[in-house]
Amino acid sequence: MAAMVRDQGEVAVWPDAQEVTPRRTARNRRTDSPTAAELAIRDLLRPNAIRLMVQPFNRLCDKAILGYEIRWRIPRLDVLPSREEIWAAAEAAGLLSTLDDTLLRAELEVAARLSPGAVTLELHPWRWHRRGVVGLLSREVKASGVDPGGIVWQLLEQEHLESGVIYDMSAQLHGRGFKVALAGLGAVRSRLSDAGKVEPDVIQMAPIMIEGVDQDRGQRAMVSALVGFARQMGAYLIADGIAEKAELSTLIDLGVQFGDGPLLGAPFDAAGELQPPGRLPLLSLDSPPPVDGDKPSSQGAVANSRRRVRSVPLHFQQLGVAEVLTQAGRAFQAEHDLRAIVELAADYLDQLVPSDGIAVYEADWDSGQFRPILARSSKDPTYAVGVMAHPFRFGMGLTGWAFDQGTPQRVNDAEAHPAAGHLPGTAPQDESMLLLPLTSGDHRLGMLDVVRFRRDAFVANELIVGGLVAYMAAAAWYNAQLYVEQVQHAITDPLTGLFNTRWLQDADGRELAMAERNGTEMALLMIDLDDFKQINDSCGHAVGDDILHSVGRVLQGAIRTDDAAVRCGGDEFVLVLRGSSREGSRRIAREVRKGLAEIALPAASTLPVVTASIGIAYFPRHGRTIGQLLGVADGAMYSAKRRGKDRVLAAR
């Protein structure tokens, strides 16, 4: 059967047993002889000339297969020693798109044979920059009969993270049902917060992150950070290029669960059998990523943040205290969710220091109270109910006393202690307590109480072990606070508390892709305060900032939970209304104008009332990007100003 090869808009046919040189257009015609590089490229266009290798991604503990990566085996090293030179030669010969089409179809043919396993294909720079590449990929995958959900497009150009180009590409690929991998993480200096906006399904650590990880403390710290980052993103983390047993052991200790490399097995030729020896079990990328001690599962949906609370491994009871504490340290290090952290603390304490009751309190410094956030008891059903129902002031009871002491305390006769109090709704009884302050450096976060319903119940060693768990939990808690603050700071305007322009830029692909997938409209309101300079001129910028803060409250109060309010700088604001009808968006615009008019102005203000001109644009009618919608809404807003201000105008 003949293979069709496109070349500059023309078509040439390669018969099975005969090589025919593709015809040139007049623009590319030349008189000199083809170079050795061009002849090598033309050799690649022959049927079955492209050789592909398949590299499995394995689970480190048992080598079960998570997925496959298809790699191009470079031919003719004497003429084209690198992929860069291959593509440069193809471009010089006018065969760049032709070669990429040929490679893509060969890759998809192999992917079809590997189905239903997940297959990673490289979205290399030359393929990336082809016009309409996402539509092209979608058509070719559909034609190959491969499920788009089984294709993972590997994004390599991390230098585009700051420009935001990669976010749009990721959003488009996700919108077509594909998965996305971010490759080479750690090889370049990129911020994890930027990488997170790609929302990768798979994260591949660069080999440079793995080499020598067993000997380099700094390297281990970076790998630990990536483990926590992948856990937070709900992404599978792949260690690429594991070559030494010491590296493998260290990676497992750090919480890495998947990888590839010489130690796990060499890639195999796609021309042969496509299952490696042993017919290893095949896992699925459609399940949430497993966590330490979990078995892969296809059950259950993942929350928006893709985080989930982990449980203590089933083999926990068989481990010694040192091993359990090591395991606990890894588990805490990977968490950024407060609820998950306190659940982990209770789980590990249940195993290390069995008790009749556990309570965790958060120190609420604004109210001066301990606020209960977790309580458990397998012995007394009234204990947990009583704990959760009763916050109490700092300094009260044994908990308040131990918090003031700042160090773990063992009280083996709670009723007899001078600081003892009684929890309302519970029956008086003999109690022993471990009182464990949750403190990280100078930051006093809360208390962890461990109770046994008898006197003289705890020994000194249990206080030490409980204190270690509390220390690790407090460190994870404080890191979680810092993480939330960092995320919020990056996307929040400090004056108004609204989102900032960075959030709006990041929302471009995400918001519109969501609206397109759901088949819903989206309204975008451009709001510009009328003559706001008069307030700054007559009352000063401090008063102006107070008014802008009030404007932020008005906008936040006018929208629904699923909507977003953004300050674009100065006195300009944007509302993003998801799934909003025309009447709904106009109603919110009216509420905004009403709320602005109710903002109290000082007597010195030369502006009698706060008003705004509002322009509205709708997706998809007025544009398919945030930039296009902003332009249309901005034009409508200026038309409203020209018509007298303090009015709403929707684009036609």
What digits encode the pLDDT tens for the residues 338-387? 888 888 899 889 888 999 999 999 999 989 999 999 999 888 878 888 89
Q: Which of 611, 590, 589 lies closest to 599, judged by CA?
A: 611
Q: How far apart are CA 231 and CA 517, in angstroms?
A: 26
Which H/E stretch holds residue 146? none
CA distance 451 to 437: 14
- On the CB side of 173, CA atoms within 13 Å amount to 28
Measure CA of the first residue to CA of the last residue in the chain; give whole Å.
54
Structural domains in the chain, sorted by start: 3-26+35-269 (3.20.20.450), 314-482 (3.30.450.40), 492-650 (3.30.70.270)
Whole-angstrom distance, CA of residue 331 vs CA of residue 312: 9
Distances (CA, A) of 138 to 131, 134, 178: 13, 6, 9
Stated as kind and residue range, the H or E segment containing 135 is helix 133-144
CA–CA distances in Å: residue 56 to residues 72, 184, 282: 14, 17, 10
Q: Cα separations (Å) of 20 from 10, 47, 499?
A: 14, 12, 60
Q: For residue 187, what pLDDT is reported?
A: 59
pLDDT in tens, 6-36: 333 333 333 333 333 333 333 344 445 778 8
| The token pair that represents 45 in the structure block | 């266009």
Q: Could you give the CA distance from residue 504 to residue 616 in angstroms, rounded to a whole number?
A: 16
Q: Could you tell me if 219 and 212 are in contact, meaning their C-beta atoms sit under 8 angstroms apart? A: yes
Confidence at residue 508, expressed as pLDDT on a 0 to 100 scale: 66
Residues of the chain with pLDDT under 50: 1-31, 159, 276-278, 293-319
8 Å CB contact between 195 and 164? no
Going 409 to 412 to 414 to 418, the CA torsion angle's sign is negative
> In 3D, which of 468, 480, 390, 478 has the Cα closest to residue 434?
468
Q: Are the CB atoms for 298 and 286 separated by under 8 Å?
A: yes
Name which of 6, 329, 299 is nearest 140 in CA terms.
Answer: 6
d(CA 622, CA 651): 8
Can you list the pairs that 214-219 forms with residues at least 24 positions away whose Cβ atoms lie under 8 Å?
A: 214/244, 214/246, 214/247, 214/249, 214/250, 215/246
Residue 649 CA to chain centroid, in angstroms?
37
